[in-house]
Each structure stands twice: as C-alpha cells, then as structure tokens.
Chains A and B, each alone.
Chain A
Amino acid sequence: MTTLSDQELIRTLEERFEENHKALHDLRMTTSKLEEMNRKLQESEALKSHFLSNVRNEINNPLTAITGLAQQMICGNVSPAEVSGVATDIYFEAFNLDFQLQNVFAAAELEAGEATPFPARVDVIALVTSTFEMFGHQARIKQIDFRRHLDAAPKYFVTDPEKLRIILGNLLANAIEFSPAGASVDVRVTQGDNNLLLSVRNTGVHLDETARSLIFDRFRQLDMGSTKQHHGQGLGLSVCRSLAELLFGTITLTTDDTVPWCQFELSLAPFPTEVSDSAEDGNVFLFDNVEKF
C-alpha cells in the first residue's frame, strides 16, 4: 500500500471539498430553476386564456374600425375635405393590425423551427430610417421627442433585413407605447468590433427587478388583465429575442434604479456566410476519416 504524504492528502481533501462544493452549487441552481419553472407553468394556463381573449380585442377592434370607416366613405358620408383624414385613420388601424399579426406569425414560425434567415447586404441607414419613419406618426400623437442618431452607423451590414426590421419595429413600438407622453425615444446605430449595435432608449419608464426578469417572457405584459392600458399580445420582446438569436445576436436590457429610463440594445454578429461553404468542402475544419452510420 502506498502512503500519501501530508501534502498529497491535503490536496486530495481540497479536491473533494471542491467537488462537493460544485455539486452543492449545481443542486442549488437546479432547485432555483425548478422553482422558477414551476411558477411559470402555473402562470401559463392563465396567460393562454388571457391571450385568447386579448386576441379578440386586438384583432377585432381595428378590423371593425377599418370596415366602419371604409363603409362611411363608400356611402358618401365623408366630404372631400375629410377624405384624407379618414384614410389616415384607416391606414394606421391597418398598420397596427398588420404589425400585431406579423408578431404572431413570427412567433409561430420561430416555435415551429421554420424561421430561416435569408442574409443579404443590408443598407443599414435606409432600413433604420424607413422603419423609424413608420412610427413617426404614433410618436407625434403622444408628443414624444423621437430622435435617431445614425452618424456612426455602418453603411452596409450582412444580415436578414426582414427579421432586423421586425426587431427594430418592436423595439420602437414598445418605446413609444410604454413611454409617458412627452418622453423621449432615441434610436442609435453604431458599429462594435465586428458587430452592428442598435439601441433604443426611452425615458420616463422605471423597470424594477421583477419587471426586468419577466419582460422577455411570451404573452407577458407588465400591466395585464381587463384594465390593461397598452396594446399588443405581449409577444414583441420574446419574438425579438428569438429572432436576434437566429441572426447570431443578443438583446440586452439596461436600466437605472434612480433615473427612470431603459434601453434595449441589439448586438448582431456579421452573418457567417462561410458556414454554408464549410458544409460543402470541410475546409474550415480538419476532419478525420469519415464514418458511416
């Protein structure tokens, strides 16, 4: 039998302590995750029925407005001077409805695993500007100081333009919807090392820790129930996060405990176009012999 020196003995003991410590840590993590999961499961039934009744309002109301207004125009009840105003109302009701439905479709596609990125060389400034302008009207109605800062934006970036547009649209729509009247919303696009950084920051909103942990959950709005004040299904940020992952990116939320503001920052890595090439020839990786199964 070999004898252990004191030092070896101490080292072995230390290793065992370390292992126990790790196991305890894992167990603690698992338990807290289970508790969290349990809470979410209990909530999910309630959220589902809430979602169904919410869909009825969110889809039915704009549709009723659109058909009603259009009917007025058909019947000739609208004087030529009012046509433009009524058409504007129809447009924005339809725009809002389309926006809600896009989120529902995007979520369905993501959950089915059918969302495929189609990368292209995207004109960043043009995409951000056109999306920004779509929300200008809503910002004006709420008297929000709606600003964009695109001086440091890269000219082109390879990513999926439609998915980027949905993410940006959601961040802007949220910032406008959830800011109090008179707040400011700032959109900023810059370039990190290789990444595209796009941030939407709004003032006047305070998010505490509970709010921060819930905000990316699906079907979740912080203010829920029959007296909720805000539009939407509570899908936007969960869709944004999953879309960002699909585009090799992340979304992070920054808040301040003292001053009421919050900022969502999207960081997108350039699209690894060589991924599909490496599948063909294996140049990127050095492989052993092929095995067949």
Chain B
Amino acid sequence: MGPTPDIKKHFLLPGAICAPATEHLVTTILGSCVAVCLWDQAHHRGGMNHFLLPLWNGDGLPTPKYGNIAIDRLLEKLLQRGANHATLIAKVFGGASMWASSGGLLAVGERNVELVKAQLDELRIPIVSADLGGRVGRKVIFNTATGEVWMQRHQEHR
C-alpha cells in the first residue's frame, strides 16, 4: 500500500525545505537526519524539512541544514501561506544512530531527536506521531494536502 500516484512529486534533498501551495507528495530519505512534517488540520496544507545537525554553531550561513533554523523556517513559510499556528500538528521521523559508536556518548541522531522534541514543544506544536531513533534509515513520503505520511524502514543489514 502506498500513496496515490497521480499527485505532483517532490524529492526533498538534505538541508532543504518544501512547503508547496498545492498538493504534493514530498519524499525524503533519512539516516541520522530528522524530517519534520508540519500540517495544518484546518487549512489542509503542510510542508516538510530535512535537517542534518541540531544547532547552527555560527559557522558559515544559518541554513536549514541545522534543526533550529529548519524548524523556524518551515513554520514561517507555512504561516506565510496562510496556515494557522494553533491548528498545526507535527509528525517527525529519523534520527537513527547509523554507526555503533561514533566517539562521543550522544550520536548526531540522538541530538537531532532531542532538539526536534524540545523545539516543537516550545512552539506548542503537538507531535501526533513519530518514528525516531533506532539503527536503520527511513524513507518518508508526506502528502501535503491530506497530512498522511507513509514510511518504510530500511532493512537492517548487520
């Protein structure tokens, strides 16, 4: 079972944001990255981001490669398109630990997960469903008009 095929498709690259005006199927593939799907229950429109790291550390440009930037930008875009902050819900995916041990105690994936929870909580946007953490990558397809998300888990190969 998958989404209906005759809707416009968009492949979301890491670090990008997609908040289209019309119905789209937005697809992305996640490892330790996290994608936030925001959807307005009242206006039936939404958008998705895909960030790689939790916080912008002041290096280079503050782009949506960083979670704190990506969530704010996605929200701004949706509000510009007429969404209402109060009726927004969030579905979040990703944040896997792709390597067994990566030096520090907290892997990038876990830090991304922590950030997304804290920031959405601060913005008072409820997380209605989520599939976070674990050890495997995910493919996510988001319908921006219906708010439905289909997710496939990458098979573990260890």
Contacts and interface: CB of A to CB of B under 8 A. Distances in A.
A290 B1 contact: yes
Nearest to A239: B61
A101 to B, nearest CB: 16
A41 B55 CA distance: 14
B27 interface: yes
Nearest to B73: A113
17 contacts: A23-B105, A37-B57, A111-B69, A116-B13, A217-B58, A241-B61, A242-B65, A245-B63, A245-B65, A279-B27, A279-B29, A285-B155, A287-B153, A290-B150, A292-B149, A292-B150, A293-B151
Interface residues on A, range: 35 or more
Given A26-B104, A285-B154, A40 B58 contact: yes
A216 B59 contact: yes
A171 B70 CA distance: 28
Nearest to A284: B29
Given A26-B105, A29-B104, A242-B60, A113 B16 contact: yes
Given A40-B58, A245-B65, A279-B29, A287 B104 contact: no
Interface string A276-293: 101110100111111111
Interface in B30-83: 49, 57-65, 69-70, 73-74
A26 B106 contact: yes
Given A290-B2, A292-B149, A117 B91 contact: no
Contacts of A241: 59-61
A125 B89 CA distance: 50
Interface string A220-263: 00000000000000000011011001100000000000000000
Contacts of A41: 58
B4 interface: no
Contacts of A276: 11
B94 interface: no
Contacts of B15: 113, 245-246
Given A112-B73, A117-B13, A291 B58 contact: no
